[in-house]
Amino acid sequence: MSSAATSPTASRKPSRLRFSLFVFLGVYPLVTILIYALAPVTSDWQIWQRNLVMVPIIVLSMVFFIIPRIHRHCGRWL
């Protein structure tokens, strides 16, 4: 029997389902706000052109703001 398996400090594997829920809760409002903010400016653009503007903003926001804050503030629930 391994002592790491019975140790009270052994860390458990984070739940991907809970993590995805927290990511959804962070990304959904961002996407919604961006759609409303960009709609007046990009109303005559093709959908791929709108996405070309919106997706980099979302990805950068996820990598530098949303996901680090999920780990910092919600880590105990993961």
Residue range of the domain that includes 45: 14-77
Domain total of the chain:
1
Inside any domain, residue 34: yes
Q: Residue 30: inside a domain, yes or no?
A: yes
Domain membership flag for residue 41: yes
**5 lies in some domain:** no
Q: Return the pLDDT at 69.
A: 95
Across 48-71, average pLDDT: 96
User: Is 26 inside any structural domain?
Assistant: yes
Average of per-residue pLDDT values in the chain: 89
Residue 5 pLDDT: 56
Concatenated DSSP letters for 4-41?
HHH-TTPPPPPPHHHHHHHHHHHHHHHHHHHHHHHTTT
Answer whether residue 24 is part of any domain: yes
Q: Is residue 4 in a domain?
A: no
